[in-house]
Amino acid sequence: MRDSAGLNMHFIDEEETVTLDSIYDQSQRAAAAVLERVRYRPTMGVVLGSGLGAFVEGLADKTVIPYQEIPGFPVSKVHGHAGNLVFGHIGGKEMVVMQGRVHFYESGDMHRTTFPIRVLRQLGCTKMVVTNAAGAVNRTFAPGDLMLITDHINLMMGGGPLIGENDDRFGPRFPDMSEAYDRELSDVLRQTAQRMALTLREGVYCAFHGPEYETPAEIRMAEVLGADAVGMSTVPEVVVANHMGIRCAGVSCLSNMAAGINVGRLSHDDVMEVSATVARNFVELLSKAIVEMF
């Protein structure tokens, strides 16, 4: 159970044809509107998953912009996803935080799902930390663990966010994904966890499209493929970020054991409950590591 939130999307008229050109232009317009309210261009972006929004409480000099006030921005209206773009400082460093994300399953459109990441790049972000709540597949992990994402497997059967005509203004037709999760940024998270005496698991994140939770058979398949955790987000964001040259690191909050491994039924309420229990460690890890990533 992870990032299983439903979202009310407000993007463009349903009858309007979505092209990469229009997405590029929309992302520029959205960024321009945001920069009218913020005096700086942040180089660091953070995407917060289900129940992990408390991170923004540690930001100083905050400017909060609700998604619905940004032209073309998808809007989140679900428990655990506040739906705000939050600008602020940690340790004197300027950053922008997505307090809540969009999911592919809500619209079935990868371009809409990843539009916020396009906007972050237009704002100036060249580094990004993505977070999520995920189900543990690795049987040595436990609910409440934090996992550094070292790689991912894309099982989002609707396809990837780069399918279709490529726009060279965003990035190359065939972006390299051999280091989707930047080694240097990931090392910062490892070293920070060590100094905190915090156990930081490491593993491969496998993305299903959702919104239904995975079946036990699907979890067995993911386990065979080499997945350590499963979820319904993150991968499209990281693909698009790499396409635009944004360096990424990722952390999963393991909110439950996945179907067939867990005891009992899965529910989003449990995601929120477990995320709340690890919020303090999560926020401290992220806050200390991000300052060193600049």
Distance (Å, rounded) from C-alpha 255 to C-alpha 248?
22
The catalytic position among 76, 84, 94, 106 is 106
Assess contact for 225 and 121: CB atoms under 8 A: no
CB-based contacts of 286: which residues, under 8 Å, 6+ apart?
46, 55, 129, 131, 251
Query: Which is nearest to 82 in space by CA: 219, 251, 272?
Result: 272
Q: 13: exposed, middle or buried (C-beta count within 10 Å: 0-12, 13-18, 19+)? A: exposed
CA distance 151 to 191: 18
Reply yes or no on whether 233 is catalytic.
Answer: yes
Question: Is residue 27 flagged as an active site residue?
Answer: no
Residue 50 catalytic?
Answer: yes
The reply to whether 79 belongs to the active site is: no
Q: Which of 44, 95, 133, 227 is flagged as catalytic?
A: 133
Which residue of the set 256, 262, 275, 281 is catalytic? 256
Q: Is residue 232 among the annotated active site residues?
A: yes
- Annotated active-site residue 213? The verdict is no
Two structure tokens written together for 266: 């899965």
Q: Are 271 and 255 in contact (CB under 8 A)?
A: yes
**Set 111, 209, 243, 268: catalytic member:** 268
* 256 catalytically annotated: yes
Asked if 186 is an active-site residue, the reply is no
Instruction: Find the angle CA(98)-CA(102)-CA(107) to the nearest 5 degrees.
Output: 160
Candidate list 4, 27, 50, 132, residue with the active-site label: 50
272 flagged as catalytic: no
- Out of 67, 105, 181, 213, the active site residue is 105
Instruction: Catalytic residue, from 27, 84, 94, 103: name it.
Output: 103
Residue 213: how many CA atoms within 13 Å on its side-chain side? 19
The answer to whether 267 is a known catalytic residue is no
Q: Which DSSP category does 258 fall into?
A: P
Among residues 4, 76, 138, 233, the one annotated as catalytic is: 233
Choice among 1, 5, 44, 81 that is catalytic: 81
| Catalytic annotation, pick one of 95, 232, 244, 293 | 232
List active site positions.
50, 81, 103, 105-106, 133, 232-233, 256, 268
